[in-house]
Amino acid sequence: MSSYLKELEKYRDIDEDEILKTLSPEELEQLDCELQEMDPENLLLPAGLRQRDQTKKSPTGPLDRDALLQYLEQQALEVKERDDLVPFTGEKKGKPYIQPKREIPAQEQITLEPELEEALANATDAEMCDIAAILGMYTLMSNKQYYDAICSGEICNTEGISSVVQPDKYKPVPDEPPNPTNIEEILKSVRSNDKDLEEVNLNNIKDIPIPMLTELCEAMKTNTHIRSFSLVATRSGDPIANAVADMLRENRSLQSLNIESNFISSTGLMAVLKAVRENATLTELRVDNQRQWPGDAVEMEMATVLEQCPSIVRFGYHFTQQGPRARAAQAMTRNNELRRQQKKR
């Protein structure tokens, strides 16, 4: 290390200005090129800044793309084509392959009765297709042709063995008709505690005002005849979930509640689950397919509610965690067994 420092000592007192004065213009230009900071691997820089300018020609003007393409095409046309090492004459060499005919040995030849020979000779493609299916030669036809021939007692493969498989024609399924329920009349019947109204089905009604749904839940607190309440795909959110939770705390006749396919968050589902604990008449609860996943805490709460509420025998939700799913399955099995024993008594 000391020898290296001694080697540097002789360059300490060098006068750089005197050295630069003695250099020629060509040497100064070369020194300037060497001192330029270039980064050839930086793809974010233009090509002109990634390498040194080594051209001596003056620029000819701005880039003309059309002229450049025309020049390249002209250059390509003027280049002489390379001669083939072996010129092509079109002469065919060799002999075409002819598959030899295989003679069937005498022991493998099958002789049919004259009636069968005549029947097979005059059989149509459709009849041959059905015969092949009956004999189990499924490799000669499509799956649809094979199963149609096996399952049907008549000739149905009219196209033949070598036909192109056609897709099945399915009947168009019409859309479900809109829900004809009149919400205002339902609200009046619920408020009047109509004994003929046992089911409230508001499924797939998208434009129900939130105040009207809240009033409906408020009216169901004192109703004693409604057994089923369904709000599937009504775009209900947490305000409706809180109203349903308040209704469950006071209603003592409702047996089925379905609030699937809505916009209820984990907070709204938690409020409904806490209210279910205070309700002893509810036997069916469905809360699946909400806009967002409720989370692990809500799934654990669902399993706890099913364990603490033996009256619930049907629960609609697809668990994503193994722990709550196993607990819920065990609780549902126990609840249904308790219900079966109560019916026997």
User: Which of the following CATH numbers is that of domain 183-297: 3.40.50.280, 3.80.10.10, 3.40.190.10, 3.40.50.2000?
Assistant: 3.80.10.10
Tell me the pLDDT tens digit for each residue of 81-118. 887 777 778 788 888 888 888 777 777 777 777 777 77
pLDDT of residue 129: 67
Evaluate the CA torsion angle 56, 60, 64, 67 in order and state its sign.
negative
pLDDT of residue 58: 81
Greatest alpha-carbon pair distance for the chain in Å reads 122
pLDDT of residue 184: 92
Tell me the pLDDT tens digit for each residue of 104-159. 777 777 777 777 777 777 777 667 766 766 666 656 666 666 666 666 655 555 55
Is 264 within 8 Å of 241 (Cβ atoms)? yes
**Averaged pLDDT for residues 305-321:** 94
- Which is more confidently placed, 264 or 127? 264
pLDDT of residue 1: 57
Domain edges within the chain: 114-152, 183-297
Tell me the pLDDT tens digit for each residue of 175-186. 778 899 999 999
pLDDT of residue 322: 93
Q: What are the Cα distances from residue 136, in Å, to 120, 128, 154, 160, 245?
A: 17, 12, 17, 16, 63
The answer, as to whether pTM is greater than 0.75, is: no
pLDDT of residue 156: 56
**Averaged pLDDT for residues 217-246:** 94
